[in-house]
């Protein structure tokens, strides 16, 4: 079973709209990462969250990690076609060294 569930699975938005992607873990996490992948290409690191309640922003993207360190959200403000791609959360659990990815969210931004 997937240990990191993302929602929604896919998202189609009009350019300029705001959107939120969620990532939920069944376990308490040590660290939570957000990556973006263009179709068929490598992954681009976006942000890393480690502390409960932490929030980070870069350009128009904001990521938050809840106090329990089991849920994260990625919020994009005023989306642009360049934001299109697959967004993946990744995590290191509190116990064990395994790094694993979430189920992914496919984002399409319509001009």
Partner 1 sequence: DTEVTQTPKHLVMGMTNKKSLKCEQHMGHRAMYWYKQKAKKPPELMFVYSYEKLSINESVPSRFSPECPNSSLLNLHLHALQPEDSALYLCASSKSLRRTASYNEQFFGPGTRLTVL
Binding site for partner 1 (CB under 8 A): 30-31, 33, 35, 40-45, 48-50, 88, 90, 92, 97-104, 106
Q: How far is the CB of 105 from partner 1 (least distance, A)?
A: 10
Q: Where are the beta strands (DSSP E) in the chain?
A: 4-7, 10-14, 19-25, 29-37, 43-49, 55-58, 61-65, 71-76, 85-93, 100-101, 105-110
Spatial distance between the Cα atoms of 110 and 27, rounded to a whole number of angstroms: 35
Q: How far is the CB of 92 from partner 1 (least distance, A)?
A: 5
Nearer to partner 1 by Cβ, of 40 and 111: the residue is 40
Place of tokens 């938050």: 64
Q: How far is the CB of 48 from partner 1 (least distance, A)?
A: 5
Nearer to partner 1 by Cβ, of 15 and 30: the residue is 30
């Amino acid at each position: 079973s997937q240990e990191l569930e993302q929602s929604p699975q896919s998202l189609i938005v009009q350019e300029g709209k705001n959107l939120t992607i969620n990532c939920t873990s069944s376990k308490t996490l040590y660290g939570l990462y957000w990556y973006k992948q263009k179709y068929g290409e490598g992954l681009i690191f976006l942000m890393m969250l480690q502390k409960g309640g932490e929030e980070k922003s870069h350009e128009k993207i904001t990521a938050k990690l809840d106090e329990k360190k089991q849920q994260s959200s990625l919020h994009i403000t005023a989306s642009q076609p360049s934001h299109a791609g697959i967004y993946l959360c990744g995590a290191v659990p509190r116990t064990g060294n395994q790094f694993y990815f979430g189920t992914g969210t496919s984002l399409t931004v319509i001009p």
